[in-house]
């Protein structure tokens, strides 16, 4: 991605009102966001449970926006087909969660989705190096994956700067991104800002999204 492109904003529905998901998504779409970020957790890779492909399928009917599905689950290769059928555009898996990383990325690509990889704060960004040319998105976690509403870990931005020099695809930053931290995330070279609390936790979502763009 060129650094000249405007940053994309991807609200994470983890902080939305799940009983009104269609309306919540319509609200951020009207508010000018670019991508819908969906956090899938299995209660094993991370200590929390969220939702799966059936919910993604329902969301797909409510929006034209690209959906970026962040899988925080063990052995995500098992669910690649399900998420494709549900209408996922970008499928992101964790480097720590796959026994067969090249096979998992292959399966995502062959299913017709864009390949994404994420890493926990404690994982070195060099772990992604062998896969960079097979990836279209890297999702840098700036909180420990599992929950919304945590504090931003600024030291993780070093990974964004490292990637910016070596990686041609999109760099996304996820966790604790808000009106205060967004500036340093953009400056580090991120293409996409994921934000849950900082968008869905606000009454005026359009203003929240503008605030993240800077």
- The whole-angstrom separation of Cα 57 and Cα 62 is 9
Let me know if 39 is a catalytic residue: yes
In this complex, which beta carbon is closest to ligand DX5, that of residue 106 or of residue 201? 201
Task: Locate 104 and state its tokens.
Answer: 């998992």
205 lines the binding site for ligand DX5 (CB under 6 A) = no
For the bound state, the minimum distance from the C-beta of residue 47 to ligand DX5, rounded and expressed in Å, comes to 11
14 lines the binding site for ligand DX5 (CB under 6 A) = yes
Bridge partners for 178 per DSSP? none
- Where does 138-204 have alpha helices with state H? 157-166, 182-188, 197-200
Task: Locate 86 and state its tokens.
Answer: 């549900």
Q: Which residues 144-183 are close enough to bind Zn ion by CB under 5 A?
A: 174
CA 69, distance to chain mean position in Å, is 6
In this complex, which beta carbon is closest to ligand DX5, that of residue 143 or of residue 160? 143
For the bound state, the minimum distance from the C-beta of residue 207 to Zn ion, rounded and expressed in Å, comes to 22
In this complex, which beta carbon is closest to ligand DX5, that of residue 105 or of residue 195? 195
Q: How far is CA 210 from CA 74, 90, 146, 170, in A?
A: 35, 24, 26, 20
Question: Which residue, 126, 183, 130, 196, is CA-closest to 154?
Answer: 183
- The whole-angstrom separation of Cα 123 and Cα 127 is 7
Those residues with Cβ within 8 angstroms of residue 204's Cβ, 6 or more apart along the chain or in another chain: none
177 lines the binding site for ligand DX5 (CB under 6 A) = yes
- Say which of 27, 34, 174, 191 is annotated catalytic: 174
Contact residue for ligand DX5 among 135, 138, 195, 209 (CB under 6 A): 195
Those residues with Cβ within 8 angstroms of residue 112's Cβ, 6 or more apart along the chain or in another chain: 84
Instruction: Give the three-state DSSP class for 36.
Output: strand
150's contact among Zn ion, ligand DX5, none, with CB below 5 to 8 A by partner kind, is: ligand DX5
Question: Which residue, 66, 74, 68, 59, is CA-closest to 139?
Answer: 68
Let me know if 174 is a catalytic residue: yes
Binding mask 18-57 for Zn ion (x = CB under 5 A): ---------------------x------------------
Q: Which residues 136-155 are close enough to bind ligand DX5 by CB under 6 A?
A: 143, 145-146, 148-150
Active site residues: 39, 174
Q: Enumerate binding residues for Zn ion (CB under 5 A).
A: 39, 70, 174
Residue ranges that bind ligand DX5, judged by CB under 6 A: 12, 14-15, 37, 39, 70, 143, 145-146, 148-150, 174-177, 194-198
């Amino acid at each position: 991605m060129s650094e000249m492109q405007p940053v994309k904003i991807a609200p994470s529905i983890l902080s939305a009102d799940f009983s009104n998901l269609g309306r919540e998504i319509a609200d951020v779409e009207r508010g000018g966001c670019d991508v819908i970020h969906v956090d899938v957790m299995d209660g094993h890779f991370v200590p929390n449970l969220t939702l799966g492909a059936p919910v993604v399928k329902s969301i797909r009917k409510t929006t034209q926006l690209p959906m970026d599905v962040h899988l925080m689950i063990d052995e995500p290769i098992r669910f690649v087909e399900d998420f494709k059928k549900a209408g996922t555009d970008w499928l992101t898996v964790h480097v720590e969660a796959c026994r067969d990383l090249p096979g998992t990325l292959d399966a995502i690509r062959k299913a017709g989705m864009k390949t994404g990889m994420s890493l926990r704060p404690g994982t070195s960004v060099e772990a992604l190096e062998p896969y960079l040319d097979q990836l279209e998105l890297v999702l840098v976690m700036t909180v420990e994956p599992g929950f919304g509403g945590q504090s931003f870990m600024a030291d993780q931005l070093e990974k964004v700067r490292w990637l910016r020099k070596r990686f041609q695809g999109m760099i996304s930053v996820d966790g604790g991104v808000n009106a205060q931290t967004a500036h340093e995330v953009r400056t580090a070279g991120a293409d996409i800002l994921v934000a849950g609390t900082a968008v869905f936790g606000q009454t005026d979502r359009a203003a929240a999204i503008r605030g993240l763009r800077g």
